[in-house]
Amino acid sequence: MIKFFRKIRQRLLTENKFSKYLLYAIGEIILVVIGILIALQINSWNDERKAKIVENNFFANVLLDLEKDNENLNYYNRFHQKRIQYLDTLLTYVRNPNRTMGIEKFGMHVEPLFYSVNATNYLTTFESAKSMGIFNNFREKDIVKNLSQYYADFVLMENSFSSITRLIENQFEPLMYTLPEGYMTETTGNLVINEEDVQIFYNKVSSIKDNRNIIYDYDRILKTSSFENYLIGDMGRSYGAIMKIESRKAILNRLLERIKEHK
C-alpha cells in the first residue's frame, strides 16, 4: 500500500502536475489523520471495555461481601433482641421480690449475659480496589461514595458493641463472681446465643460433681441495687446497639438494590 502511494506521488511530480500533487498530499494527510483517529477510538473502546469488566467484577465481589454483612447484621440483631428478653425477665424478678425465680431459671438467664459479640466488617474487596486506585475509571462513582461512607460508619456499631463488653467486664462479672458458680448445669447454657458451640463447656463443668452442699444465694444478687442498675444499663446499651444495627441494615439494603440495578 505504501509503495502504491509512493508511485502515485512520483508520477505526479514527474508529469509536473503540482496542483494535483498538492491535493493528493492533502488527501493523504487526511487519510493518515483519519487512521490515527480510528486507532485512538479503537484504543478508547478497548480501555472502556476493560474498565467495565473491572468495574463489574468489583461490584460482583462487593455484592458477596455485603451479603455476608447482611447475615452478620441479622445475627447481631437476633443476639441483642434475645439479650433484652433475658434482661427484661431478670428485671421483672428484681422488681417483684415476692416472686420466686429458682436457681435453675436464674442460671439460664444470667449465663447469656456473660457473652457479647464482636462486630465483623467484610471490606476486603473495597479496600483492595481502593489501594489499587481503580475507582477513577468507574462510571458508578455515587455507589462507590456510598460504599465508602458505609464502611467508614462501621465504627459506630463497633463502639456500641464494645460499650456492652466493657459494661459486662466492669459491672456484671465482678457482681456475679460473688456468687459461687456451682449452680451451672448442662442446661445453664441453653439460652446462650453464640457463633461458637459452647455446650461442650457446660457439659464439662456439670460433669465435675460438686460435694460442697452450698446454698446458692442468688436472691441476694437480685436484691442488690447494683444488679438492677446493671440490668437497666445493659438494656439501654442493647437497645442502642439494635438502633445502630437497623440503621446500618437500611443503608446496606439500599446499596444492595443499587448494585443489583447496576449489574
**Mean pLDDT within 2-29:** 53
- Quick: pLDDT tens for 118-157: 999 999 999 998 988 888 888 888 999 999 999 999 999 9
Could you give the percent of the chain with pLDDT greater than 70? 80
DSSP state of 209: -
Average pLDDT over residues 42-47: 60
Q: Which of 29-33, 102-106, 201-205, 237-241 has the lowest mean pLDDT?
A: 29-33
C-alpha span between 192 and 165 (Å, rounded): 16
Of all residues in the chain, the percent with pLDDT exceeding 90 is: 56
Average pLDDT, the chain: 86
Which cell is 14 given?
Answer: 514527474
Residue 6 confidence (pLDDT) = 56
pLDDT for the residue numbered 176: 93
Q: Answer left, alpha or beta for residue 120, where phi above 0 means left and psi between -120 and 50 means alpha.
A: beta
Beta strands in the chain (DSSP E): none
- For the chain, domain boundaries: 54-262
Contact 250, 217 (CB under 8 A): no
Residue 184 phi/psi, 5° resolution?
A: -70, 135
pLDDT digits (tens, 9 = 90+) for 53-72: 878 899 999 999 999 999 99
Q: Residue 125 is placed in which grid cell?
A: 474487596
What pLDDT is attached to residue 247? Answer: 96
User: What is the predicted pLDDT for the residue at 139?
Assistant: 84
Q: Output the pLDDT for position 12.
A: 47
Position with higher pLDDT, 183 vs 24: 183
Bigger pLDDT: 88 or 140? 88
Look at residue 94 in the predicted model and tell me its pLDDT: 96
pLDDT of residue 21: 46
Number of Cβ within 10 Å of residue 244's Cβ equals 21
User: 166-200 as b/e, with b when 16 or more CB fall inside 10 Å?
Assistant: ebbeebbeebbeebeebbbbeebbebbbeeeebee
Predicted pLDDT of residue 7: 57
Count of H-run helices and E-run strands, the chain: 10, 0
Task: With beta carbons less than 8 A apart as the criterion, state whether 107 and 185 touch.
Answer: yes
Q: Round to whole Å and give the CA distance between 9 and 171.
A: 96
Distance CA 127, CA 101 (A): 51
CA distances from 199 to 73, 76, 102, 165, 254 (A): 24, 20, 22, 21, 38
Is residue 11's pLDDT more than 90? no
Q: What is the mean pLDDT of residues 219-246?
A: 96
pTM of the shown model: 0.81
> Lowest mean pLDDT: which of 38-47, 206-215, 235-244?
38-47
